[in-house]
Chains A and B, each alone.
Chain A
Amino acid sequence: NAGVTQTPKFRVLKTGQSMTLLCAQDMNHEYMYWYRQDPGMGLRLIHYSVGEGTTAKGEVPDGYNVSRLKKQNFLLGLESAAPSQTSVYFCASSYSSGPGNIQYFGAGTRLSVL
């Protein structure tokens, strides 16, 4: 049982390049989330999805796009990477939106934009 799997684990981009981060969960969770973690900032929500085909903006959505074509996958895209997007990205999933739902996290993707 893998839980939440993120690929790749590390990536280096040049300014202006694009890339897609993949998040896959095998827990049949309805909800999925993308966060970024920066030193001294904690985790901040980028986008989230309440179900297949549905996405919503979080606290820091600018410069990112997401897609949820399949229930088990949640993709995070950077169309034109900027140095400010250097961060560690975490994907999470939860069973429902019910009160107290627990989010389960992947191992993270460390992205550097030069």
Chain B
Amino acid sequence: AQKVTQAQTEISVVEKEDVTLDCVYETRDTTYYLFWYKQPPSGELVFLIRRNSFDEQNEISGRYSWNFQKSTSSFNFTITASQVVDSAVYFCAYQAPGYSTLTFGKGTMLLVSP
């Protein structure tokens, strides 16, 4: 069975600091997808990014960037110049081939203070 580990339970930073959220997964599958979701204080889950296991290119979207390394089974998420609005719980999730369901990590709570 697949497993997703987000070892950082809670991270606190001051605004404008860079922060990296770690995600490590365990699988025997050769193809799979990885996801990041954001859960702001309002409660809903918001999709951030999807990554195919064959695509190891890093991705950047504004202040957000993702580093996927298949060799270390990691899919880390970096926020550059963090802002208070980035305060949220962030979830990493795994999707096995042939399945529509997601296996979530336990989440990392990010607190950005002014």
Q: A: which residues have CB within 8 A of B?
A: 31, 33, 35, 40-45, 48, 50, 58, 88, 90, 92, 94, 96-97, 99-108
Kindly list chain B residues whose C-beta atoms are within 8 Å of the C-beta of A48.
100-101
Closest A residue to B31 using CB positions: A99
Q: Which of A88, A96, A103 contacts B102 (CB 8 A)?
A: A103
Would you mind naming 18 contact pairs between A and B with Cβ atoms under 8 Å apart? A40-B9, A40-B106, A42-B6, A42-B91, A43-B45, A43-B104, A88-B43, A97-B98, A97-B99, A99-B31, A99-B52, A100-B50, A100-B95, A101-B100, A103-B100, A103-B102, A104-B47, A108-B44
Alpha-carbon separation in the docked complex, A88 to B45 (Å) = 12
Size of the B side of the interface (Cβ < 8 Å), in residues, is 26
Closest A residue to B52 using CB positions: A100
Alpha-carbon separation in the docked complex, A31 to B99 (Å) = 11
Are B102 and A45 within 8 A (Cβ)?
Answer: yes
Q: B: which residues have CB within 8 A of A?
A: 6, 9, 31, 33, 35, 37, 42-47, 50, 52, 91, 95, 97-102, 104-107
Closest B residue to A56 using CB positions: B101
Alpha-carbon separation in the docked complex, A94 to B45 (Å) = 14
Are B99 and A105 within 8 A (Cβ)?
Answer: no
Closest B residue to A33 using CB positions: B101
Q: Which of A44, A50, A101, A108 contacts B43 (CB 8 A)?
A: A108
Closest A residue to B47 using CB positions: A102
Alpha-carbon separation in the docked complex, A45 to B99 (Å) = 13
Are A105 and B33 within 8 A (Cβ)?
Answer: no
Closest A residue to B32 using CB positions: A99
Closest A residue to B92 using CB positions: A42
Kindly list chain A residues whose C-beta atoms are within 8 Å of the C-beta of B104.
35, 42-44
